[in-house]
Amino acid sequence: MRHPDGGTFIVLDGTEGSGKSTQIRLLHDRLAAAPGRAARVLLVRDPGTTRIGEQVRTILLDPAHDEMSMRCEMLLYMSARAQMMAETILPALAAGQTVLCDRFVSSTLAYQLGGDGLTAADIRAVAEIAIRGRWPDLTVLLDMPPAASLARVSRAKDRIEQRPIEYHERVRQNYLAQADADPARYRVVRADRDPQTVHADVWAAVAPLVGAAG
């Protein structure tokens, strides 16, 4: 069912190194290539996209900030998200665009859940304020074992990526629990395959929602 704002909001999410950036770019390019759709597809990243959001992203991922508490971390992600919603996503959806977002609240429900005693209800309550109640129409989770996905990260690891493998295992399970709890709005795609095979499954999940052929 189409949201009253007329737009379509799709999130790609998953563990570090699972191929989100590659897959969301493939999806964006495929949608934008459809006749008359190039200006109707917007690609954003969370945290980031806006001037303020990119500054918050730098603070969040800087390995020097190892004293940051999990509650502070969660609130900073939500702050960047609130700015992106107000400045970029909500106006695009109101104009009937398809918005593709690299990470969203699903990441916070995976990475910050349990830290400093944070519950899913805590995170969702703050998210409801930050995103003004506009949840994604579909979240596609790219799933693969953390040991394999982290091995794909060739650059210097950021503050989150540097956490121990046990942490990333919990993150993966938190993602899968979200999908199990809300199968109508989540799809899980195996990411430990070649990019075009993964893209085919991502497209199969998204195509009915965007009404695209091909």
Please, what are the domains in the chain? 8-208 (3.40.50.300)
* pLDDT tens-digit readout, 42-70: 999 999 999 999 999 999 999 999 999 99
One-character DSSP codes across 119-185: -HHHHHHHHHHHTTT---SEEEEEE--HHHHHHT--S---TTTTS-HHHHHHHHHHHHHHHHH-TTT
Burial level of 184, CB count in 10 A (0-12/13-18/19+)?
A: exposed
* pLDDT tens-digit readout, 142-184: 999 999 989 898 787 899 999 999 999 999 999 999 999 999 9
Question: The tokens of 200 are what?
Answer: 């085919």
> What pLDDT is recorded for position 195?
97
> What pLDDT is recorded for position 153?
85
β-bridge pairing 98-102 and 8-14: parallel
* pLDDT tens-digit readout, 158-168: 999 999 999 99
Mean pLDDT of the chain: 94
Check residue 210 and report its DSSP letter: H
One-character DSSP codes across 76-96: HHHHHHHHHIIIIIHHHHHTT
Q: Residue 213 pLDDT more than 50? A: no
One-character DSSP codes across 17-72: TSSHHHHHHHHHHHHHTSTT-GGGEEEEESS-SSHHHHHHHHHHH-TT-TT--HHH
| pLDDT confidence tier of residue 35, bands split at 50, 70 and 90 | confident
